[in-house]
Amino acid sequence: MWRVALALELGEPGRVVELARDVDVAAIPSAGRQAAFYGDMGRGLATIRGREAQAVEALHRAEVLAPQRIRTSPFVRETVSDLMRRARRDAIGRELRGMAYRMGLAAS
């Protein structure tokens, strides 16, 4: 889990995805830490073109586990805003629009 976070901070999104495969999320006893893992994974995936849907899925999982923590995270909020800007309005997807709404971010 910590290697995933470190790879994200080092700007290595491909490594984030690779390392995340080896993490047994169910073995993490804290829902907040599970959410942090999925948030990091979503942030990493969001930087890889073509992986936006997977990024939204990971961010949604994080939000379900720890809504307040994820919705108020400046890093996750920035990622959701970036995904919204990059996506065409009709292709954004319901999940991403809903997450942006719950975070109080404009859906333009």
36-42 own/partner pairs: CB under 8 Å, 24+ apart: 36/1, 36/5, 36/62, 36/66, 36/69, 37/1, 37/4, 37/5, 37/62, 38/62, 38/65, 39/70, 39/73, 39/75, 39/76, 40/4, 40/5, 40/8, 40/16, 41/4, 41/16, 41/17, 42/76, 42/79
Q: Which pTM value belongs to this model?
A: 0.83
Structure confidence by residue, pLDDT tens digits, 3-37: 999 999 999 988 998 999 999 999 999 999 999 99
